[in-house]
Chains A and B, each alone.
Chain A
């Protein structure tokens, strides 16, 4: 049994993926920079 998806739902998925990737990449960059900040502040 399958259930067809509408174009609207497919667009929603695409936007969701884009939003998720943007947020996660920002988190990665933030944590990378944070490691330097943390070391410099603790020195």
Chain B
């Protein structure tokens, strides 16, 4: 121990740069970059949400009301692309950036400059994507899956492909950074099986990103060369096959679904123990369940393609493999319930969103099981039942977890407490209207209403009207969230304590609130009592 090193050769040790440009555009600080990601995700959430409002307004009544069908198709396509790549994924990366170094006792991310680049690629990618709306020919309208030959007819394909490449590069760099940080930058004594579940969930998610984002890049590159360079990867006229695109897209697309939900599992596994005042039930089982789900996500892709005419053996394999995912997912749900069981529970806003997550995500999981059944899927495929299913998974699942995490860690970030009253108002409005929005869509789908259409049979009118009312009010409820955030960050008079929540455990709660610009320049000593999940080896 002769060369005790307390400095890491940086000259920026004391505080944030005063210059706005330097602080926010040239930042290498994980907390500032985390904030940038979160603000960007919030902006994209409202832009993607406004597209959803157009969709629901058009579907309020049968017949064409407000927009032309081609513009409607652009809205459904861009809503998905913006929400998936612009809102949900960057929000999780922002949370990871902020919290992973704090949770493992690292001074920053392993590659801080690359971290800056990962973020700053995104605004350019989305400017490129959204600019297509203002071009002659309009934006992409063939669905977010970009299936050929339809997507090849779009005049904006090159813009979309380049935007997707940029998003992919950003995600891959972010994933490399997270893996390098977790594997190399943990404080001595923070063994892998002592890490918080959120960190574990991100480690596994990052490996998924590394494996599948290059495949998406390959798929869209082939689309590009098919359209502009005379190749025939997916053109049957030249010996290609459009179904191959579907295989390769969903080899990316299904793990992508888990990329959007595994960090949510991690968040819920942090929030529930805090407000139940008990260590998480079955820590190791939780970690292994996440790893199992990640593995299974690679062998279920063709359940998105049951209706294209796969061989029977393949359909049966993909059906059973898909149903198998219910096992580790069930382990997680039962462990969350067991963590709450007998706990000394309180119901602050983050906990309310976490409980809503457990219940509503499970509903989304069950409708997923229904869709996994080949004969049933033949009926449900491409109907509103599928729309209801994945919105339960992604809105009441991923989005509710992100909101829960925001309320949970906001006092640590800003040093101020948000308004609990308005937080609860946000929760109750969200949870009521999101069900009014999406639950009737199950009935619409079962009755045969196809997805991605601007007009429909009058038989579907009532449920569509109810769904649209739910949509408008759910959208409006998110303005409460915006208000709570602005108040909680800038105006709240109530200062946050270091630990913030009585039952909170983990290294992030040992630093002051707001977290100083630099933390853990010298690694902390790890005490088992301080870990969220107690003594895991007992």
B62 at the interface (CB under 8 A from A): no
As a 0/1 sequence over residues 355 to 392 of chain B, the CB contacts with chain A under 8 angstroms (1 = contact) are 00000000000000000000000000000000000000
Once bound together, how far apart are the Cα atoms of A31 and B176, in whole Å? Answer: 15
Residue in B175, B218, B233, B239 with the greatest tally of chain A CB atoms within 10 Å? B218
**Cβ contact within 8 Å between A6 and B184:** no
Chain A residues lying within 8 Å of B180, measured Cβ to Cβ, are: 16-17, 20-21, 24
Instruction: Report whether over half of chain A's contact residues are helix, strand or loop; otherwise say mixed.
Output: helix
Q: If A25-B176, A43-B241 touch, does A6 touch B2 (CB 8 Å cutoff)?
A: yes
Which segment, of B208-216, B343-351, B474-482, faces chain A?
A: B208-216
B135 at the interface (CB under 8 A from A): no
Once bound together, how far apart are the Cα atoms of A5 and B339, in whole Å? Answer: 36
**Cβ contact within 8 Å between B210 and A27:** yes
B293 at the interface (CB under 8 A from A): no
Q: If A3-B522, A35-B214 touch, does A43 touch B240 (CB 8 Å cutoff)?
A: yes
Chain B residues lying within 8 Å of A10, measured Cβ to Cβ, are: 5, 8
**Cβ contact within 8 Å between A17 and B111:** yes
As a 0/1 sequence over residues 31 to 42 of chain A, the CB contacts with chain B under 8 angstroms (1 = contact) are 111111011001
Q: If A16-B183, A32-B214 touch, does A5 touch B525 (CB 8 Å cutoff)?
A: no
As a 0/1 sequence over residues 505 to 525 of chain B, the CB contacts with chain A under 8 angstroms (1 = contact) are 000000000000000001111
As a 0/1 sequence over residues 233 to 253 of chain B, the CB contacts with chain A under 8 angstroms (1 = contact) are 100000111001001100000
Chain A residues lying within 8 Å of B8, measured Cβ to Cβ, are: 10
Once bound together, how far apart are the Cα atoms of A25 and B169, in whole Å? Answer: 11
**Cβ contact within 8 Å between A24 and B218:** no
As a 0/1 sequence over residues 1 to 17 of chain A, the CB contacts with chain B under 8 angstroms (1 = contact) are 11111111110010011
**Cβ contact within 8 Å between B214 and A29:** yes
B44 at the interface (CB under 8 A from A): no
Point out the residue from B3, B172, B219, B523 that lies within 8 Å of A35, measured CB to CB: B219
**Cβ contact within 8 Å between B522 and A5:** yes
Chain A residues lying within 8 Å of B175, measured Cβ to Cβ, are: 24
Chain B residues lying within 8 Å of A25, measured Cβ to Cβ, are: 176
A13 to chain B, nearest CB (A): 5
Residue in B6, B8, B248 with the greatest tally of chain A CB atoms within 10 Å? B248
**Cβ contact within 8 Å between A6 and B214:** no
Point out the residue from A2, A13, A29, A36 that lies within 8 Å of B184, measured CB to CB: A13
B312 at the interface (CB under 8 A from A): no
**Cβ contact within 8 Å between B525 and A1:** yes
B146 to chain A, nearest CB (A): 14
Point out the residue from A4, A36, A39 that lies within 8 Å of B4, measured CB to CB: A4
As a 0/1 sequence over residues 1 to 29 of chain B, the CB contacts with chain A under 8 angstroms (1 = contact) are 11111101000000000000000000000
**Cβ contact within 8 Å between A32 and B523:** no
B217 at the interface (CB under 8 A from A): yes
Point out the residue from B2, B218, B247, B525 that lies within 8 Å of A2, measured CB to CB: B525
Once bound together, how far apart are the Cα atoms of A12 and B141, in whole Å? Answer: 50
Point out the residue from B110, B189, B214, B525 that lies within 8 Å of A28, measured CB to CB: B214
Instruction: Write the chain B residue with the least CB distance to A31.
Output: B214
Chain B residues lying within 8 Å of A34, measured Cβ to Cβ, are: 215, 218
Once bound together, how far apart are the Cα atoms of A28 and B241, in whole Å? Answer: 25
Point out the residue from B111, B188, B217, B241 that lies within 8 Å of A21, measured CB to CB: B111
Chain B residues lying within 8 Å of A1, measured Cβ to Cβ, are: 524-525
Once bound together, how far apart are the Cα atoms of A33 and B447, in whole Å? Answer: 43
Once bound together, how far apart are the Cα atoms of A43 and B226, in whole Å? Answer: 14
**Cβ contact within 8 Å between A21 and B176:** yes
Q: If A17-B110, A28-B210 touch, does A3 touch B525 (CB 8 Å cutoff)?
A: yes
A22 to chain B, nearest CB (A): 10
B222 at the interface (CB under 8 A from A): yes
Once bound together, how far apart are the Cα atoms of A31 and B431, in whole Å? Answer: 40
Chain A residues lying within 8 Å of B95, measured Cβ to Cβ, are: none
Point out the residue from A4, A8, A36 that lies within 8 Å of B222, measured CB to CB: A36
B232 to chain A, nearest CB (A): 9
**Cβ contact within 8 Å between B211 and A31:** yes
Q: If A20-B184, A32-B218, A43-B240 touch, does A4 touch B6 (CB 8 Å cutoff)?
A: yes
A8 to chain B, nearest CB (A): 7
Residues of chain A at the chain B interface (Cβ within 8 Å)? 1-10, 13, 16-17, 20-21, 24-25, 27-29, 31-36, 38-39, 42-43
A to B CB contacts below 8 Å, 24 in the list? A2-B522, A2-B524, A2-B525, A3-B188, A3-B189, A4-B4, A6-B2, A16-B183, A16-B184, A17-B184, A17-B185, A20-B180, A24-B210, A25-B176, A27-B210, A27-B211, A28-B210, A31-B212, A35-B215, A35-B222, A42-B241, A43-B233, A43-B239, A43-B240
Q: A4-B6, A33-B218, A36-B218 are in contact. List 17 more A-B contacts (CB 8 A).
A: A3-B189, A4-B5, A5-B5, A6-B4, A7-B5, A13-B184, A17-B180, A28-B214, A31-B210, A31-B211, A31-B215, A32-B214, A32-B217, A34-B215, A35-B215, A36-B222, A43-B240
Q: List 8 A-B pairs, minimum CB-CB distance, nearest first.
A: A35-B218, A32-B214, A4-B4, A16-B184, A31-B214, A2-B522, A1-B525, A7-B3
